[in-house]
Chain A
């Protein structure tokens, strides 16, 4: 079983739709969580951290469920420019502070 798993998609949604992705992690010792965004043929960039109480950044909401070991990303009012691959990332500080990446979920927003 992969340490961090994501549905690869693609998720095809119309502009203006709300879309959500989940990411599950297997190591209960994971301590920090992030979403990175990767545009086609570009490098990944940090989108947002995920806090225990949930957090928002504009149209993006991230949530963490430690009991079920998953994090989620919700995008409201999707824009064409949201089309990208979203990478889930976890860190276990007891294991060298390395980031473990999921395989990514591809989102395609259509006009």
Chain B
């Protein structure tokens, strides 16, 4: 069965801390994505990657960076966490089809920045 695993379900950090959110997929998918989900705003794309060592900015990349050193792993980094980055973070992957129609999501990380 398809699986996308996010390392933490809940995370509490302090303002200014560096935060790493890890995501691993076991489906050999080419494409990986990081979204954040906030009430009333839906899912917003932060960064995505179509290949190892490749990354592209999404709609809201400010304050975030990513790393994809291996095909199965896509990490989201908050260089200096701020309270407005408190959110649900969802990682997703999709096979290379050129359309990204079906995304497989991880179960999410609820990050609270105090």
A99 to B93 CA separation, bound complex (whole angstroms):
12
Q: Which residues of A contact B (CB under 8 A)?
A: 4, 8, 32, 34, 42-46, 49, 87, 91, 93, 97-99, 101-104
Q: Say yes or no: A34 contacts B99, CB within 8 Å.
A: no
Q: Which of B42, B43, B44, B45 has the most CB of A within 10 A?
A: B42
A-B contact count (CB 8 A): 46
List B residues at the A interface (Cβ < 8 Å).
Answer: 35, 40-45, 48, 58, 90, 98-103, 105-108
In the assembled complex, which residues on chain A have CB atoms less than 8 Å from the CB atom of B45?
A: 98-99
Which B residue's beta carbon lies closest to that of A103?
B42
- In the complex, the chain A residue whose C-beta lies closest to that of B45 is A98
Given contacts A42-B107, A43-B105, A43-B108, contact A97 B42 (CB under 8 A): no
Shortest Cβ distance from B41 into A: residue: A103
